[in-house]
Amino acid sequence: MFTGIVQEIGEVEEVQPAENGARIVVRMPALAPEVAMGDSVNVNGTCLTAVELGPERIAFEAMGETLARTTTGALASGAPVNLEPALRPTDRMGGHVVQGHVDAVGTVAAIRADGIAMVITITAPPAITRYVVEKGSIAVNGVSLTVSQVVAEGFEIWLIPHTCEVTTFGSIKMGDGVNLEVDIYAKYVEKFAAERDHAAGN
């Protein structure tokens, strides 16, 4: 489990295609010493498992399903990635509950400045937007963010300069794909409500 608070911007050093998957080497000098074999790390919103350790580099394996359903399949050497190690029991919950299970890939449709803030509009499929509410939480490329408003076919997020400095949002561009994970509690509420209505005969 993660909180969506990025702790380092890493850099993809190598992507090695494998049978129905890939091996991805990420340079992450600040976090690498903390990672143990088999640990989960949130890489741009996707939970990946460490399979080879180094003092400044960690190798991860991604299966075909992950590559097909996230932006991980489009990663190339030199790409910056948001990184967060798994939450420890003693850590502060600075963001919201993030699983690293990407629900869909959205697209950056617009970027504008509003005072000190960067305002980003992201389009997303209906399967995602049904769970998106104004002032609710959403993880975008592994970053815990607040939805400023819901718009046609997507939503807006507002970023302060600090967020742009410590995440990859500082270099994001129009048309970029982004990994989206909705608030898991919204899914549970929907499921429980559907089961209640079914039991009531509605």
The pLDDT score that the predictor gives to residue 198 is 67
d(CA 23, CA 18): 7
- Can you tell me whether residue 156 is helix, strand or coil? strand
Residue spans per domain, the chain: 8-85, 104-190
**What's the chain's average pLDDT?**
94
Residue the block writes with tokens 């869909």: 104
Fold of 8-85: Elongation Factor Tu (Ef-tu); domain 3 (2.40.30)
8-85 and 104-190 in the same fold: yes
Rounded average pLDDT over 120-137 = 95
Q: What's the gap between Cα 49 and its chain centre?
A: 15
Q: Regarding predicted confidence, which is higher, 88 or 62?
A: 62
Quote the pTM value.
0.92
The pLDDT score that the predictor gives to residue 200 is 73
The pLDDT score that the predictor gives to residue 202 is 63
Domain 104-190, CATH: 2.40.30.20
Instruction: Say how many CA atoms lie within 13 Å of 152 toward its Cβ.
Output: 0
